[in-house]
């Protein structure tokens, strides 16, 4: 497919701004080559793909990524052009059916074209409060919930105005005994890259994070932003979602991802890509350390970095494949009382920032501070408590010693026999007391 076969200069307003950047910015020539590589052997089933890639971008970008990812994992993709749905049919014993979808910004939301450099810098900042966290995560939850329900209906079928509309699983070439997976990429707001895995943990399992407490609480619902409508959380508890075997999710598929992959391959770049990753130890605990990591050929970003598979505990057909662990994709499971991140996988990405190389050290230090503030603050608080406790202990010890000293002096003085003035002096000088130590007492 000729994804970038367009006339320059580009006509104003016709093309998506990210497509325009890839076409016109020389700095993105390697990134453009990476996307073209993803498109090799990709099947355009309806003849509209190139136009959609150039004009709406995100959904096509996501499908190209999935195509590359499934190939890299070693799955056999059904390329029959007559098999128009679902989006991906993966053959073999561990194959499954996939519907791809993106969560876009709502119709009256702030458009991505209004993103400023300040928005870009926000990727360096950890959520400072529960209110700030909710302002981003709640919007994401609403958008993802809508996207998932829409794709589920298309797969299993639904009734509309009293008429039954069959789903994709009823198509003759679809094996409905295979797992059904929704592959969802987030582009739901300007700061979608900060969602990490938090929105899906809440939506699918009910675990809602609190930056202020630095822990999770179980919640049944949230309020849809700016309304009184309830949005259900923990939807995998509901049998109506049991046809979904799992959700493949990312909020990190950006132009920055392409830059990271280019740098990882040793390609020259004046930009530096910084990933803020969670360490893979105690990842589902309350106290987590984040690590800013510069992407280099020796510390590369994998194609699968930032990709998650959330398994449905109540799925009618479970999803399982050794290919996921071999690719080190992060898999998450839950029994609705706790959740587990698979061990030995690629650590989750909390954010990514791509910036000019000279600013790298400044950005690394700032990210280290901001994303571990909870640890630093606790350490400082512990140090202050230790100092105060030590001071109180020392004061108590000193007071006890002082009291003991005065007590001994007082007791000795009160227990002494009174010495007469004409008696021998107690100091054994041989002189009378009145002429020796009498005036010293």
pTM of structure: 0.83
What number is the average pLDDT over the span 15-24? Answer: 94
Q: What is the pLDDT of residues 170-201, one digit of tens each?
A: 999 999 999 999 999 999 999 999 999 999 99
Q: Is omega for the bond preceding 86 within 30 degrees of 0, making it cis? A: yes
What sign results for the dihedral spanned by CA atoms 184, 132, 351, 359?
positive
What number is the average pLDDT over the span 134-144? Answer: 97
pLDDT at 10 over 50: yes
192 token code pair: 């979608």
The answer to whether residues 36 and 3 touch, using CB atoms and an 8 Å cutoff, is yes
For 255, counting Cβ atoms within 10 Å of its Cβ (0-12 exposed, 13-18 middle, 19+ buried), the class is middle
Q: Give the 3-state secondary structure of residue 290.
A: strand
**Strand duo 97-104 + 180-187: pairing:** parallel
pLDDT at 269 over 90: no
What number is the average pLDDT over the span 133-138? Answer: 96
Percentage of residues of the chain with pLDDT beyond 90: 61
Map out the domains of the chain as residue ranges: 17-369, 380-440
What pLDDT shows up at residue 279? 67
The answer to whether residues 364 and 295 touch, using CB atoms and an 8 Å cutoff, is no
Alpha carbon separation from 72 to 27, 66, 385 (Å, rounded): 27, 10, 52
Q: What is the pLDDT of residues 346-370, one digit of tens each?
A: 999 989 988 777 778 887 887 887 7
What pLDDT band is residue 417 in, cutting at 50, 70 and 90?
low
pLDDT at 218 over 80: yes
Count of positions (residues) in the chain: 441
Q: Which of 278, 441, 435, 265 is nearest to 351 (CA)?
A: 278
Percentage of residues of the chain with pLDDT beyond 70: 83
Q: What is the pLDDT of residues 419-439, one digit of tens each?
A: 666 777 666 666 665 556 544
Strand partners, 339: 334
What pLDDT band is residue 277 in, cutting at 50, 70 and 90?
confident
The answer to whether residues 172 and 85 touch, using CB atoms and an 8 Å cutoff, is no
Rounded-to-integer distance, Cα 266 and Cα 298, Å: 9
What sign results for the dihedral spanned by CA atoms 233, 237, 243, 244?
positive
What number is the average pLDDT over the span 137-152? Answer: 97
């Amino acid at each position: 497919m000729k994804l970038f076969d367009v006339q320059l200069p580009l006509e104003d307003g016709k093309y998506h701004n990210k497509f325009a950047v890839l076409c016109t910015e020389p700095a993105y020539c390697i990134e453009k080559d990476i996307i073209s590589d993803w498109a090799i052997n990709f099947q355009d089933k309806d003849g509209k793909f190139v136009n959609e890639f150039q004009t709406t971008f995100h959904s096509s970008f996501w499908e190209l990524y999935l195509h590359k990812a499934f190939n890299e994992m070693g799955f056999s993709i059904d390329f029959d052009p007559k098999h128009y749905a679902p989006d991906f049919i993966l053959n073999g014993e561990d194959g499954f059916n996939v519907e791809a979808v993106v969560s876009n910004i709502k119709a009256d939301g702030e458009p991505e074209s209004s993103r400023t450099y300040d928005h870009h810098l926000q990727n360096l900042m950890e959520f400072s409060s529960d209110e700030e966290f909710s302002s981003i995560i709640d919007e994401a939850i609403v958008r993802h919930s809508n996207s998932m329900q829409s794709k589920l209906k298309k797969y299993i079928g639904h009734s509309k105005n009293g008429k039954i509309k069959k789903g994709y699983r009823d198509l003759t070439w679809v094996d409905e005994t295979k797992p059904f997976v929704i592959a969802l990429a987030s582009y739901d707001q300007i700061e979608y890259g900060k969602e990490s895995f938090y929105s899906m943990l809440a939506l699918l399992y009910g675990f809602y994070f609190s930056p202020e407490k630095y822990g999770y609480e179980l919640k049944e619902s949230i309020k849809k932003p700016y309304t009184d409508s309830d949005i259900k959380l923990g939807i995998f508890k509901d049998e109506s979602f049991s046809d979904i075997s799992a959700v493949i999710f990312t909020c990190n598929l950006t132009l920055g991802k392409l830059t990271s992959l280019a740098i990882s391959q040793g390609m020259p770049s004046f930009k530096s890509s910084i990933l803020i990753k969670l360490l893979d130890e105690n990842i589902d605990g309350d106290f987590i350390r984040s690590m800013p990591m510069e992407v280099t050929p020796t510390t590369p970003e994998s194609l699968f970095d930032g990709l998650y598979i959330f398994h449905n505990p109540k799925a009618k057909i479970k999803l399982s494949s050794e290919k996921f662990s071999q690719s080190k994709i992060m898999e998450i499971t839950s029994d609705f009382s706790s959740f587990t991140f698979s061990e030995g996988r690629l650590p989750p990405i909390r954010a990514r920032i791509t910036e000019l190389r000279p600013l790298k050290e400044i950005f690394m230090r700032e990210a280290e501070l901001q994303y571990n503030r909870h640890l630093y603050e606790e350490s400082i608080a512990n140090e202050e408590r230790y100092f105060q406790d030590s001071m109180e202990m020392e004061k108590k010890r000193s007071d006890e010693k002082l009291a003991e000293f005065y007590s001994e002096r007082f007791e000795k003085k009160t227990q002494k026999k009174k010495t007469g003035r004409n008696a021998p002096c107690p100091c054994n000088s041989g002189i009378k007391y009145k002429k020796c130590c009498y005036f010293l007492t």
